[in-house]
Amino acid sequence: MQPGDRVKVCQSVVVFHHPQHRGQAFDLMGQEGEVVSVLNDYKGRVISPTLPVVVAFGKFRAHFRGDELQAA
């Protein structure tokens, strides 16, 4: 995955910080968004984050593992 790719959430991912459902469980499965960045380094040092893929759904952003997403 590269920044700018369109992706779709293919597994059940529940978040509680969605702007329209603040404080309530919201499942992102089936939502489509755009990859903003893939986190793999910090200030030139290699890192291994648990949720490295940042996806934007309009103004809302969330972090995902690579296996939770598929190309749209």
Residue 1 has pLDDT above 90, yes or no: no
Summarize pLDDT for 23-67 with one digit per residue, the tens: 999 999 999 999 999 999 999 999 999 999 999 999 999 999 999
pTM assigned to the model: 0.90
The better pLDDT of the pair 72, 3 is held by 3
Q: Over range 65-71, report the average pLDDT.
A: 96
Domains of the chain: 6-71 (2.30.30.50)
Q: Over range 16-23, report the average pLDDT.
A: 93
Four-residue CA torsion sign, 31, 35, 41, 42: negative
- C-alpha closest to that of 2 among 63, 46, 55, 57: 55
